[in-house]
Structure 1
Amino acid sequence: MDNKTDTTELEQAAPDLNAGTASAALAAAAFLAACGGGGGGGSDPGPATPSTPDPTPSAAPPPSRRDAARFLSQASFGVTGPAQVDALVVQGFDAWLTAQFAKPAALHMDYLNSQRGRDQAAGETPRISEEMSYEAVWQQWLTGEDQLRARVTWALLQIFVISNIAPDIRPAAMSSYLDMLNRNAFGNWRTLLQDVALHPAMGYYLNMLESEKENASKGTHPNENFAREVLQLFSVGLIQLNADGTPKLDSAAKTQATYDEAVVRGFAKAFSGWSFGGLDNSKNSQFHNHDDNIEALWTVPMKAWVSYHSPGDKLLLDGKTLTAGQTPEQDMKDALDTIFQHPNVPPFFCKQLIQRLVTSNPSPAYVGRVAAVFVNDGAGARGNLKAVVRAVLMDAEARGDNPAANVAKQREPVIRFANMLRGLGAKSTSGLNRIQYLDSSDDALGQSPLLAPSVFNFYSPGYRPAGPIAAQGWVAPEFQISGETAVAGSLNFFADLFNSGGYGWPEEHRLKLDLASLAALDASALIDRLDLLFFNLGMSSSTRERLTALIGAVKGKTDKVRAALIVTALCPDHVIQR
């Protein structure tokens, strides 16, 4: 990616530092505009041998430290230190993946239950809160051993979006939904799709919960919200695709729609008649009339009520029709099977997964190779996510010391924050955190888990900012939330993080940064350590020169570290993952 856009935004942000920011931050800001671009260049690797689900470990040579650091930035929430990178070099990518696939899924509901009733007066019924749901996400990201599962689950949450913007999705609904994604991250896509469709959090968010059959006398029909989004955003997209994700054109060289409004209505009918799974579906009165404050209702799959289900024919994709008279369970199964078997699903889903983990602009060949693994994992299974994740991370376009120019993406704000906390050994006395609301662009990150502004996520996978990126014909999704206010807010946020030495409150839960170990290093060693932790060992020579000058100009060992970290946090070399 061209770094001019990013550098310009940083130049605009520098004067907006608040008056309370320490002198080290001001010194750092003066160097932001001079930060260089990413590391190596390289050329398009072109077609490569398709990834296989289980390559022989001994067949691959040990990775370099640079590629090991790159791999960890794609498959986890950031490097924790030289020992982690060196261990991966010895272990190898395949063995690391195998070990990660075997890690048990974190349970966010366990975190909520461990925190239940905190800060409440004696005698009150112990409760859980939405703040605990946000903390559970960060607890897994920062301390969980299941880093790959956590990173893939974060990618899935940005495709199969739910959000507390709704508002009022219950804490148990949010956290059990994350548990469901964690459970399915390395499972089968078809199972994932069904679990998403029947989770009450999704049912509430996209109005499938309590959607009932058409009523001509009332002029009502089944709610179409989930039916529309499961097609447009979760599975097949708006236009027909080739196997490599490129648009399929007709004889007039025009794109072709994947479905029309009649198909949306057909799916809405197929999805009608579902309510909370904890209720008695033999009683029609319970379909609508219930206490939805009952926590357990939000943690189990929804259940069908026959009397509220559309009984007629339902038109689905590519002319398939569900015949009248089927049960709601059978209609649900057939509708989801139809989606699962659609040829758009492999390239549509796999491209978005690549974008979330590796690069905003995978080549069609890259998408095609991963999509082929989705179609057949080598053992005849379709939708094997374990094989798909391996294919994404082990593809020739993703690996190597010198990625091609198109193999780049902006690190999301929350990923950068997590990377900083992990790389700087942030720990609290309690071992827990109080990271809750980061969605303000003015003084935070403009992004916060479970608080996407809409079902369209924080940004569109096809967003293309004007300027050099658009001129290249590329997309840069994360730039959609990288306006001037957000860049200035991020600068202040990270400056405060480093100058205060930590994040959060009260004191026992405050995540304190280990700056002392960095302050003990000389200038050259400090820059080398920052290069490994935050640049994937791809720091440009110009950034190294500026950091050297900056460190030499600031007095005090800890102030040198703080100033260098502020530059690092906003410098294009770090902000752009390569």
Structure 2
Amino acid sequence: MKKNFLLCLRPCLLRLLCACAALALCSSVNSLQAAPGVGPVLLSNNDSTRAVAVESVTLKSEPFTPNQIVPFSADNRTRIIIFAMNLDTIAGEGVNAFSADAEAVVNGATTRYTLNVEYMSPVPGFEGITEFIVRLNDQMPADMGDVLIRLNLHGMASNRVRVAIGHVGGGPTDDQGAVPTPAPQTPPAPIPAPAQNPYTDPALAAGGDGVRFLEQATWGPTSSDLAHVRSVGFRAYLNEQFAAAPVGSTNYPTLNLFPTDTEVGCSATDYPVLAERTMCFRDNYSMYPLQIMFFQNARNGQDQLRQRVAYALHKILIVSGRDLNNQPAWVAPYLQVFDRNAFGNFRQILMDVTLNPGMGEYLDMRGNSRVSPNENYAREILQLFSVGVDSLNADGTPKLDANGNRISTYDQATITNFARVFTGWNLSPNKTWTNPKTGATAPVPNYIDSMALSNNTSTYDTASKTLLNGQVLPAITAGQDLRQYKTAELNAAIDNIFNNPNTGPFIAKALISQLVTSNPSPAYVQRVAAAFNDNGAGVRGDMKAAITAILLDPESRGDVKSDPNYGHLREPVLLTTNLLRAFNATTDGNISNNGTRFGLLLDMGQDLFNPPTVFSYFPADYQVPGTSALFGPEFGILSTTTTFKRANFINALVLANSGNGFLPITPPIAGNPASSDRPTGTKIDYSAYQAMAGNPAQLVDALNQLLMHGTMSQAMKNSIVTNVTNVTNANPDWRAQTAIYLIASSSQYQVQR
């Protein structure tokens, strides 16, 4: 909508609303009391769930046309005004804290449309009631009948009200229990917006939010962690985690480098016994050792938050083992970058990952030369690792030009110039490999130490370069040391990226998506970006400040989140670790149905540390089918097959082998337990729930609190209780296992909110 037209119209519109809509807004004798912890209330007529709504310019009532009959705006799209109360905002929040959606039935199929919320303002004389202007989605058909509109704030959904598009009637049925929600006879007083809660009071963790917090900040709640966070509170727990170190110096110890040729590193001559040779391949030419470390650390490590953040950074600044000769020794130093810097500064992360030899191999910066500079790393550090392709507002929304088109952050020339900066770097001097069988030595490429400038100075590009925002890096001057010039130039380029206005909101949104929800509000992104930009002491890029802002935001906290657009699908890694920790599992780290090193979560569509592309395990912009503009990255690897495999995995973990999970595999080399891909197996402990099996309702309630922080629907609860009751009381094991399996395999559990 043209802002100047809207501003000129606003006083007249408000006067007309007060005169023409007062009866509809205030005629009821019923009142609605604002209740803490509930969502906004959209106002309806007295006798139905039909919304109090008017077209934003003409003030005509429904049915509305998706396009304006008279073009009042450049895009010619209709906006409507709806009214709400009970808005639990915090100080400084505006319209970008809200989202809206409409559900419709189109050609017999239920479809959800995102509605842009463009404006909000208290109604004069009724300041406890707020008007919202929402724009009808471009994909809405012209004559779809009734739709159900909802308003969302901080992950809490309003009631849904009916709005007619094209004609009145039809559409989805009202929600179960829906009632009219007219405004009260006495206009509600405005609710003062409080300052953001610091979350220092341990009592705030007493309910379901204690479980939710640990789902976001750890690899899954355990009973001991839950008791602790409820004792000290959220903020104190974060401070403890910031101080917690991994066992040893890192969660991913440096591994022995092996020759690039597997026939040299694990030759048949040195390993005539097939089982020994297979073990050599497993430990030195597959991701198995790192995957085992990962799951053991996730299950048992005390530095849970560090691990979660490090894994999130891995999924943003991606490297894949399959493109690093499948050598775990090449990948471990890359993982150490995030393990080391998870609570450090993002600039250091950018610098360390730029000079990491694994990244240099993966995106071709290693050996990059001025003659024909490879642009892969230059392109991805901009597009995926830092600023993104679109110029962003402070809240992460794209900036638009006068024609409503997105503005690019950079162009091809910028990529080329960055590629020229990234010339001259190569692997540090070779390391020495000692054959464990013969003692013979041989040089091997150094994928442990950071890359260094090559001795071949002819590969250096020393001409002038123009980077983001037109910053010019000058050419080398006569007599200037080449190495000093290239080192200073690289630092200047990293600073140019790090200090770009896009970096804060881009990284903020990426981390929120990894830890909390795939569709954060712009207001949430803006608060986290502000913490990234300045930690309160003038420091930019402080990861601890950004993480604290993510996990203590009102949009992340709360016992319940009712907005169906909130949360994210548990990816296979997270699904697995959540279950292992919830049921105090013992594990050797081999999480696979078939027990081989090639089965670790692969059946469910996620090969840990082997993402298929630079876009990670799943595309960040994947849209949930049946919706418009609702992102669900993890759904990108969910199919009929992988859904079945998820259920199979849970069945194997919970029900198979008489509830003993993944059984150990006999070592193929007698007397050498390490030769087994699964030396001790993985088993969950459900004994505490087995003791409740005589009371199925109590059993399901306890699991509801543990796994779903009390949000299980009544219909699901009834169904599970019925199925558990049908299992003979003489078999308490089977009862407990059945309840766990049915909950863990349900969509209500697998979509984490």
TM-score, with length taken from structure 1: 0.82
CA contact (8 A) 2:512 2:520 kept: yes
Q: Report the equivalent of 1:78.
A: 220
Equivalent position amino acid for 2:609 in 1: L
Query: Is 1:170 matched up with 2:327?
Result: yes
Q: What are the superposed Cα offsets for residues 303-324 of structure 1, whole Å, 9 maximum, x if unpaired? A: 0123321121222112122111
Q: What are the superposed Cα offsets for residues 346-376 of structure 1, whole Å, 9 maximum, x if unpaired? A: 0111001001111111100000000000110
2:642 to 486, 503, 511: 486
Equivalent position amino acid for 2:363 in 1: L
SS at match of 1:488: helix
Query: Is 1:516 matched up with 2:516?
Result: no
Q: Quick check: 104-113 or 65-74, which moved more?
A: 104-113
SS at match of 2:705: helix
1:457 to 592, 611, 616: 616
Distance in 1 between residues matched to 2:519 and 2:582, nearest whole Å: 27
Q: Report the equivalent of 1:527.
A: 700
| Cα distance, 1:503 vs structure 2 | 2.6
Distance 1:206 1:190, change over 3 A: same
Aligned residue runs from structure 1 range 287-298, under 5 A: 297-298=446-447
2:420 to 269, 281, 292: 269
Query: Is 1:95 matched up with 2:242?
Result: no
Tell me the C-alpha RMSD between the 2 structures. 3.1
Distance in 1 between residues matched to 2:418 and 2:714, nearest whole Å: 55
Distance in 2 between residues matched to 1:87 and 1:541, nearest whole Å: 30
TM-score, with length taken from structure 2: 0.63
Query: Is 1:416 matched up with 2:559?
Result: no
Q: What are the superposed Cα offsets for residues 19-71 of structure 1, whole Å, 9 maximum, x if unpaired? A: xxxxxxxxxxxxxxxxxxxxx983389998568xxx5846x754232000000
Q: Report the equivalent of 1:359.
A: 517
Query: Is 1:42 matched up with 2:156?
Result: yes
CA contact (8 A) 1:108 1:175 kept: no
CA contact (8 A) 1:438 1:445 kept: no
Q: Report the equivalent of 1:180.
A: 337
Query: Is 1:303 matched up with 2:462?
Result: no
Whichever structure has more helix as a proportion of its residues is 1
CA contact (8 A) 2:368 2:423 kept: yes
Equivalent position amino acid for 1:544 in 2: K
Distance 1:188 1:356, change over 3 A: same
Aligned residue runs from structure 1 range 207-222, under 5 A: 207-214=364-371, 221-222=372-373
Equivalent position amino acid for 2:576 in 1: F
| Cα distance, 1:127 vs structure 2 | 6.4
Distance in 1 between residues matched to 2:344 and 2:472, nearest whole Å: 29
Distance in 1 between residues matched to 2:648 and 2:282, nearest whole Å: 37
Aligned residue runs from structure 1 range 186-335, under 5 A: 186-214=343-371, 221-279=372-430, 297-305=446-454, 306-325=457-476, 327-335=485-493
Distance in 2 between residues matched to 1:450 and 1:308, nearest whole Å: 32
SS at match of 1:132: helix
| Cα distance, 1:562 vs structure 2 | 2.3
CA contact (8 A) 1:120 1:126 kept: no
| Cα distance, 1:438 vs structure 2 | 4.7
Whichever structure has more strand as a proportion of its residues is 2
Distance in 2 between residues matched to 1:322 and 1:340, nearest whole Å: 16
Q: Report the equivalent of 2:438.
A: none
Q: What are the superposed Cα offsets for residues 271-309 of structure 1, whole Å, 9 maximum, x if unpaired? A: 1111112359xxxxxxxxxxx995681111110123321
SS at match of 1:329: helix
Distance 1:328 1:438, change over 3 A: farther
Distance in 2 between residues matched to 1:448 and 1:338, nearest whole Å: 34
Equivalent position amino acid for 2:385 in 1: F
CA contact (8 A) 1:109 1:175 kept: yes
CA contact (8 A) 2:518 2:633 kept: yes
Distance 1:125 1:295, change over 3 A: farther
CA contact (8 A) 1:239 1:256 kept: yes
Equivalent position amino acid for 2:220 in 1: G
Unaligned runs of 5+ in 1: 9-39, 215-220, 281-291
SS at match of 1:414: helix
1:398 to 536, 553, 556: 556
| Cα distance, 1:425 vs structure 2 | 1.6
Q: What are the superposed Cα offsets for residues 468-516 of structure 1, whole Å, 9 maximum, x if unpaired? A: x32xx32111111111111112112221222222236436420122133
| Cα distance, 1:383 vs structure 2 | 0.3
Query: Is 1:447 matched up with 2:622?
Result: no
Distance 1:293 1:200, change over 3 A: farther
Distance 1:46 1:534, change over 3 A: farther
CA contact (8 A) 2:590 2:600 kept: no
CA contact (8 A) 2:357 2:427 kept: yes
| Cα distance, 1:524 vs structure 2 | 2.8
Q: What are the superposed Cα offsets for residues 108-160 of structure 1, whole Å, 9 maximum, x if unpaired? A: 443857xx999748xx9996453111111112111111111111111111101
Distance in 2 between residues matched to 1:504 and 1:319, nearest whole Å: 60
CA contact (8 A) 2:550 2:556 kept: yes
CA contact (8 A) 2:324 2:358 kept: no
SS at match of 1:157: helix
Distance 1:438 1:76, change over 3 A: farther
2:527 to 357, 365, 369: 369
Distance in 1 between residues matched to 2:390 and 2:103, nearest whole Å: 31
Distance in 1 between residues matched to 2:403 and 2:375, nearest whole Å: 32
Unaligned runs of 5+ in 2: 1-100, 110-153, 159-190, 257-264, 432-440, 477-481, 666-677
